[in-house]
Each structure stands twice: as C-alpha cells, then as structure tokens.
Structure 1
Amino acid sequence: MKKRLFSLASLLLFGVFATAQQVEFEEFDLDNGLHVILHQDNSAPVVITSVMYDVGGKDYEPNRTGFAHFFEHLLFEGTQNIGRGEWFTIVSSNGGSNNANTSQDRTYYFEVFPSNNLELGLWMESERLMHPIINQIGVETQNEVVKEEKRLRMDNAPYGGFLSAIGENLFKVHPYKEKLIGEMEDLDAATLEEFQAYFKKYYVPSNAVLVIAGDIDKAKTKKMVKDYFGPIAKGKKPVRNFGNEVPITETIKAKYYDDNIQIPAIITAYRTPGFKTRESYVLDMISSYLSGGKSSVLYKKLVDEKKMALQAQAINLGQVDYNIFAILALPLGDVSLNTLIDEMDEEIVKIQNELISERDYQKLKNQFENQYVSSNASISGIAENLATNYLLKGDVNLINSEIEIYRTITREEIRDVAKKYLSKNQRLELEYLPSKDKQ
C-alpha cells in the first residue's frame, strides 16, 4: 500500500526509550482461535489496533501468484457496513492513520487512533475479517492499482528487479522463487470465486494475531475484543508443505537485464537458514560488519579507499523458511564486475579465517543494542514486533530477549557461520545488467 499519513502520524514516535526496557504484554485466545496480545502504555493518548495474518507471497496456487499482496489492497474496498471507498475517510475524519504491508510470509494491517477511538479501530478490523465485500468491481479496481504499483516500483524503477531476480535463481522448489507482487497475467486470469476462496482459506481467526498497544484499559479492551471478534467463525488453520530446497553445491551463474539502468551491478546471494535460527542472528551481524554504515568494511574499502564502487552493501533478508544473504556492488568507471566480486570475496575469506577485531566486535554489539532500542521506541514498532514474534517466530517474549541472542554471539561464531554458509560453491552470482541496447 502507498503510505497514507494523517493527523496522528507524528504521535507514532511517542514513547522513545533512552535505554532498552522490558515490554510488558498480556496474551489470551478467543474460542475461535484468534490470539490476542495487549500492551498498555499510557504515556500518550494514542492506540494502535493491528492484525497480522499468516499469509504472504509464498501462499499461492499454481499460476495464481500475487494473491496475498492483492488482498492487502482488496480488503480496503469496503465491508457490509463500510461503504466502498469510505475506509480511509472514516479513519482520517476520526484523527487516525492506517496502512498495510505484505511480505513473502505475512500480511499486516493497522490503524492508529487517539485512544478514545479504540473501539472504532477494533470494529473496523473485525469488519475486515467478518464482513468484507469481495466482488467483481473491487477486484477490477484493485487489479489496476496493483498493475500501476508494479509499473512504478518494478518495471520503471532502476534496479527494481533485484529481489525477483535473486529469488527466481536462488530457489527452485520453494515459493519464495516467485515475485511478491505476482505475475499480472495470473491476477488477470483469476476468477472472482478464486479470490473468495483465498479469503476463506487464509483470513480466519486461527491464522491471525490481533495486537492492541497504547493508551488502553485492559479490562475494557478485553470486553471489546470479545464483543467484536468473538462471533467470527473459527475456520481451519491452513496446512503448508512447501518441500525443502536441495543444498547449492556449485555456483549458480545468471544474468538479469533492466531497461531502467545504465550502470550494472554484481550480486552474490546465498540461501541461508530462516530467521528463527541462531545462525540467522549471526548472519545479521556479518552483514552489518560488511556494510553497516560508511565506516563498514565494504563501503570503506570499495567506495572510500579504492574508489572502485559507487555503492556496496550486504543484507540478510530475514524470512521464515530461508533467508537471503546478499552482497552487491555497483562499479565506478571501468571497474569490471569480476574485479568487484574478487574484492568482496576477499573480505568474506578474511571473516572465515580470522577473528574480527575486538574493537569491531564491540562496535557491532553496540549497533545491535541501538537497533533493538529503536525498534521498540514507538507504539507502532512494539505492536508489529509483538505480532511478528508470535506469528512467525513462535515466541512473543523475543521482544525482550532477542537482544540477548546478539549479546552472546561470539567472534568465533561469526567466523564459523561465515565459513559454513558463505562459500563460493553455495551461492548465486548474478550480473544485473542494462538492457543490451544500452551497453
């Protein structure tokens, strides 16, 4: 969804902590399987109502990609009690803001209101789940919206195909190989009945978590939750069996052409364990060591000192089933892509064979302390973290304990994980190139 900012947007920043503090929360389940998490913070008159559904880009039928992202748009069309096109008007006219977003693993909806409009937020989210109107008019309208988004963010955006190019080459079996936004021909070919069936399958209470955070009275909030969400039919929690990817044992070489660029890029990408594993946390630290700011190893070497690259970056894209660890660089002048690969690999080999310095190690731990504090520095950040930790990571209290994982990672672990997962024969080498007529 495009971001929509209303009068309360600035209040999302309330509640900033100078140091990491325990986030208190309370959990309970409704009879229909909906899991509910409450976080009370009366420091500002703001409340967020949010629902995260266990459905994402990876959830599709053959030749029907992109449904999860499509529903992120479609479920703002209206309900039996909210007229078509009225959703955003209701929110803004009551001093609120709202948004939604989709990943390969989940879809997340939320409203931020003055706390005296908590009941309105709960009613609207219960309406989305209980009484949505999924008809041909809405499908056709949002089909055009999604196509425009694809044109804006992928087809006409420089380097807009990065992730899809990596995914389609790094995965052979798992549905992470498909674009999150999907293929437009799949959406065009889908029937109204298929969209309705998708909603019925994935949008059920047992496949979701409701998080309410902010200036609330817990007893009153619990009653409202039961009143608005309790009557919703339970439904069946979806069962998935995606299968496992065969380990990569030989370098995959691929090329991707982008009509919107003039400067090529080189990407090395590795398929690594999902973000619930300790190894994923170690890879977070490795990516930050390589490119966490202008003083990081890759940026300092390739951009500042050797002036071989316009940009250099490492990312550890966290996902439930498999992460993507990728390193990329854009050459400066006549520097070849092969030269950049050699320079990037040199730093990986150092990590694999030497312990990073104690100074760099302490710097990394400080970075993650700061990131942890920042991620819980607003009501909206806390709400999304609570939802993610419950639904995707299986442990709500990670909101308090996750920092301890980073604190206990050793320099030896950094070396050993790099050696285990970042070898040349375990990766994709992707040349991301201008269209042939621009070369």
Structure 2
Amino acid sequence: MKKTFLSIASITALGFSLCAQEVAFEEYDLDNGLHVILHQDNNAPVVTTAVMYHVGGKDREDGRTGFAHFFEHLLFEGTENIEKGKWFEIVSSNGGTNNANTSQDRTYYYEVFPSNNLELGLWMESERMLHPIIKQEGVDTQNEVVKEERRLRYDNSPYGQFLFAISEQLFEKHPYKDPNVGYMEDLDAASLEEFQAYFDKYYKPSNAALVVAGDIDIAKTKKMIQDYFGPIPSGPALERTYPQEDPITETKRSTFYDQNIQVPAILTAYRTPGYGSRDAYVLNMISSYLSDGKSSKLYKKMVDEEKKALQIGAINLEQEDYGMYIIYGLPLGETSLETLLEGMEEEITKLRNNLISESDYEKLQNKAETNFVNSNSSVEGIASTLATNYMLYDDTNLINTEIDIYRSITREEIKEVANKYLKPNQRVEVEYLPKKDEQ
C-alpha cells in the first residue's frame, strides 16, 4: 500500500534456517481486551511490531462499502502526536520499514525496526489506536489516493476485476459480494461523522491483537505494552451478524467485460467453507495437486501436453465466513473457452471418481511441509501468522500444529471433499471477455 524502506531488509533474513522448529510464544489479554502475543528470537537484532484489527471489507452497511480499506490509508495521516505526513519519515529515519493491508475479514498494520527501536514501534501503534486525526482534510486526501489505487490496480489493470466478476455471482446476500476496495460513490457520499463512528466502532483494543516478535526482552516488552496500550479504553462490545447464503444447486453463468484485456478467460468458482474448516485444508491440497508447478495436473495437461491454455490455475481463497474455490484458464491460439472448461472439468471429474496416486499424494505432503517451513522462516512472517491464527482461526498454536492437519489428510478424504464441493451444479461460470468497441 505505502512506500517501504529497505535499510534493514538484509538483517531480517539472518538467524533463520529452513528446518521446521517450534515457534515459542506467549499470549495474554490486557484488562481492556487487547490480545497480546509475544515471540522472542534473539538471533538477529530486529523486531516486528504488528496490530491486526478484526475489521475488513465485509464490515459495512449497504451503501457504505470500502471503509476498512479506506482506513488502511487514513490511519497513516497522523495522530495528535505524529504530525501529518511524518509517519513514514519517522519510520525510515529510525532504520525501519512499515506497511499495512486489508482483506474482507481483517486489517493489518506493522513496523519492522532494529530491536533498539521497539518502544518507538509500540508508541506509534498505540498512537494509531488512541489518537488518530480523522478530519475532513485527511478524508479528502485519502479519498483521492484510494481512487487512484482502484484505477491502477483494478479498473485499468488487465484482469484486475477478476475477483469482482466472481464474487458478485457467488454471493447474493453476504457482504463478500462487494469488492474489498469498495465503490467510490459510497466513499464520496460518506460524511466525516460516519468515518469517525466507524473508527470508534472497530478500532479498539477489544477488537485487536498486538504481536511483538523478534529480538526482545519479554519482561521489558510487557511493561512497555502496558504503559502504551493499557490506558486505551476497551469500547463497547461488538455484535456481528452476516446473512447466510442459500446453497447453489444449479450452474450460474454470466459474462464480464474488461476493457484492459485482449485474451479472454474462463472462470469457475465454488462456494466453500471458511477458515479453520478441515475441508478448507483439503481444498488447499487439491489446489496444489491441480496447478502448483509444471508437473501439476492442469498445467501438464492443458499447457504442456495439449497446448490449449496460455495460463491455468486453481486457487482456494480462504475467508472467514465462506471460501471461494476458483479455477481459471486463458486460451492459447484458437482454443475456445468451452474447450478449456471441458478440460478443467475432466480433471475435477477424475478427482471426484478416483483416488489420486500414491506418488502424487507424497508430492502433496512434501509441498505442504515446504510451505509450512517457509511460512515461519522470518520474524515478519511469524508475526503475521501468529496474528492471523489467533484472530481468524481461533488457535494461535496452529503456527506449530497446522502441518499435522495436512499430514493427516488422506487420499480418500481428497476424493470425498472434491465430491462435496466441486460439482458443476454448485458453481458459477464467468466468461471474462475483452470489452467490445462501442459503436
């Protein structure tokens, strides 16, 4: 989202090996409800300070989409004690990097500093939580920033509206039907008071998790956390209700036009379970089986052997309430979208009807091991994983035990889950086409 500074990037790679080791951590709650997770690793003089808020694109009223993503930008404007426009200057001048990102389910802010600047990171994040300046000038400034981001990343980017085309068909009631970035007319129509009320509702200790990971002294860190975050009021309890979707029982077909492309695409998507479901882990393995690497089934068949696809892939996009399992393809030469769709369905049918081979199963297990190790290979990655596991999976220790879930998945289970979710009558099909010239 924002500019980052690389003055200590090389340091963050020190002290980590590719062997899977248990990630030790301590977690507790402050009296105001802030959940704190501490991970000590003194191998390199680097510390990550991160705050994840349980608020994302789905947390909005009809007609007021995009607030969570907007706040990702707005909360870098400044605070009562950080002058407007000085946030990044403070970080970079103290040898740090920082960034933020937003999903449909959460918003994540973090700084990476040399460990002697831990207190600075804690102070800055406490300032963001307690003393942000939310005034019309900042709202207007960031409104233009968000509009430009939308133009660059979505509206004017080839295949940039890929997910929009799917989600608006896959969901009819749930807020996942609308893009995380929101609609610009909603932000334009919102009043300053609405933005301030949004902050008061969601940006509070009881709706957040603070992670401090790296070269720290536990006792001293706890003292600083209490000093900076303990006095922040917890705020009223949140009540969340999201509408449930009716099952998809017959194929839904639609067409989407993108003015930025010349090669069309076929998109298929299935509504699947959310974070933490065992079936979601199985679907991750199915994605790896179908399209992870040149030896994967879809790539080998459609791209390598038959040369019908320019690009092809399968993605299990996990979210808190519902997941989206997406299979897509771009045709090569004169190949039709219908031919691509048939080829994709052939491989899914094989999964539904047959057990995968023992050798393919072993490859999947090896890939799962590699991915698990790589996800915990840096302090910055560990901080993000700890926060995500606590907030969205309700199990912080998954950072150590998640691999056991993958190890326990059987070939029979892969077949069962493919039959449960990946059927033609349970999907949407989108022809993603170049926009026709207007006559």
Q: TM-score range by the shorter chain?
A: over 0.9
Quote the offset at 1:187 in angstroms.
Answer: 0.4
1:59 aligns with 2:88: no
Query: Residues 209-250 of structure 1: CA distance to partner in whole angstroms, max 9, x if unpaired?
Result: 000000000000000000000000011232111121100001
SS at match of 2:437: helix
Query: Residues 296-316 of structure 1: CA distance to partner in whole angstroms, max 9, x if unpaired?
Result: 100111111100010000000
Return the alpha-carbon distance in structure 2 between the equivalents of residues 382 and 255 of structure 1: 41
Return the alpha-carbon distance in structure 2 between the equivalents of residues 438 and 20 of structure 1: 57
Cα contact 1:298–1:344 (8 A) shared by 2: yes
Query: Residues 112-157 of structure 1: CA distance to partner in whole angstroms, max 9, x if unpaired?
Result: 0000000000000000000000001100000000000000001110
Root-mean-square deviation (Å) = 1.0
Quote the offset at 1:62 in angstroms.
Answer: 1.4
Query: Residues 29-66 of structure 1: CA distance to partner in whole angstroms, max 9, x if unpaired?
Result: 11100000000000000001000000000011110000
Match of 2:83 in 1: 83
Match of 1:400 in 2: 400
Point out the more displaced range, 330-339 or 234-243: 234-243
Quote the offset at 1:17 in angstroms.
Answer: 2.4
Return the alpha-carbon distance in structure 1 between the equivalents of residues 427 and 88 of structure 2: 44
Return the alpha-carbon distance in structure 2 between the equivalents of residues 137 and 348 of structure 1: 52
Match of 2:199 in 1: 199
Match of 1:319 in 2: 319
1:284 aligns with 2:284: yes
Aligned ranges 1:397-436 → 2 under 5 Å: 397-436=397-436
Query: Residues 140-190 of structure 1: CA distance to partner in whole angstroms, max 9, x if unpaired?
Result: 000000000000001110000001111111001110000110000000000
Match of 1:98 in 2: 98
Quote the offset at 1:438 in angstroms.
Answer: 9.1
Aligned ranges 1:363-402 → 2 under 5 Å: 363-402=363-402
Q: Which amino acid aligns with 2:205?
A: P
Cα contact 1:204–1:236 (8 A) shared by 2: no
Cα contact 2:12–2:378 (8 A) shared by 1: yes
Equivalenced residue count is 439
Quote the offset at 1:329 in angstroms.
Answer: 0.3
Quote the offset at 1:16 in angstroms.
Answer: 2.6
**Gaps spanning 5+ residues in structure 2: where?**
none
Cα contact 2:275–2:392 (8 A) shared by 1: no
Return the alpha-carbon distance in structure 2 between the equivalents of residues 7 and 30 of structure 1: 33
Aligned ranges 1:13-412 → 2 under 5 Å: 13-412=13-412
Return the alpha-carbon distance in structure 2 between the equivalents of residues 12 and 175 of structure 1: 37
Q: Which amino acid aligns with 1:302?
A: M
State the identity %. Answer: 69
Cα contact 1:257–1:433 (8 A) shared by 2: yes
Quote the offset at 1:330 in angstroms.
Answer: 0.2
Cα contact 1:202–1:237 (8 A) shared by 2: no
Return the alpha-carbon distance in structure 1 between the equivalents of residues 13 and 269 of structure 2: 35
Query: Residues 177-206 of structure 1: CA distance to partner in whole angstroms, max 9, x if unpaired?
Result: 001100000000000000000000000100
Return the alpha-carbon distance in structure 1 between the equivalents of residues 96 and 239 of structure 2: 36
Return the alpha-carbon distance in structure 2 between the equivalents of residues 103 and 17 of structure 1: 30
SS at match of 1:395: coil
SS at match of 1:113: strand
Cα contact 1:267–1:430 (8 A) shared by 2: yes
Return the alpha-carbon distance in structure 2 between the equivalents of residues 276 and 407 of structure 1: 16
Cα contact 1:172–1:245 (8 A) shared by 2: yes
Quote the offset at 1:11 in angstroms.
Answer: 2.5
Q: Evaluate the alpha carbon distance shift between residue 353 and residue 216 of structure 1 in structure 2; reply closer, same or farther with a 3 A threshold.
A: same
Return the alpha-carbon distance in structure 1 between the equivalents of residues 5 and 330 of structure 2: 34
Q: Which amino acid aligns with 2:348?
A: I
Return the alpha-carbon distance in structure 2 between the equivalents of residues 404 and 57 of structure 1: 31
Give TM-score scaled by structure 2 length.
0.99
Return the alpha-carbon distance in structure 2 between the equivalents of residues 276 and 229 of structure 1: 29
Return the alpha-carbon distance in structure 2 between the equivalents of residues 417 and 306 of structure 1: 28
Give TM-score scaled by structure 1 length.
0.99
**Gaps spanning 5+ residues in structure 1: where?**
none
